[in-house]
Amino acid sequence: MYQSLELPLPGAGKFNGPLLIYGGSTATGSLAIQYAIHSGCQVVTTCSPRNFPFVKALGAEEAFDYNDPQCAKKIRDYTKDGLTKVFDCISEGQSPKICSEAIGSKGGVVSYLLFAKHEREDVVNKHTLAYTITGEGFKFGPQEWKARPEDYEFAKK
């Protein structure tokens, strides 16, 4: 989330604006909410309505039902067309569509945990794979990944 979305690390400044964490009640999403709060983000998230109290207790300002056909529009309205950064902890099904459509009219970036694509050309598609922080090459399914020293160095921060 910090590397791909270029958010300030906790204690290193404040991000001025909303951040959507899609899948806020997942293990990764719940951690992301807490980290984002420490970076000064205005966190909005998606989850099932039964998890709204949970994500709000973690610090999310507002939660939206990902099954609502108007989910993206409601997020865009809530953020006053100012959303530019999204961290998608689901990265499949309708999440790429909802995430990209929630981003404001000036465009932005979505960082996916899995390989995912969206249709908006003014929204940058990024992919995060935590295994690259080890500084060593690895195999993920049939694909081989080379060592990424820059990810290792960033992770040490």
Q: Using only C-alpha atoms, what is the Rg of the chain?
A: 15
> Do residues 43 and 59 lie in contact, with contact meaning Cβ atoms separated by under 8 Å?
yes
Q: Tokens for 140, please give them.
A: 């993920």
> 108: exposed, middle or buried (C-beta count within 10 Å: 0-12, 13-18, 19+)?
buried
Domains of the chain: 2-156 (3.40.50.720)
Residue 45: predicted pLDDT: 98
DSSP state of 26: S
Mean pLDDT by 10 residues, the chain (157 residues): 89 88 97 94 97 98 98 98 97 96 96 85 83 81 83 82
The whole model's pTM is what? 0.90
Residue 102: predicted pLDDT: 98
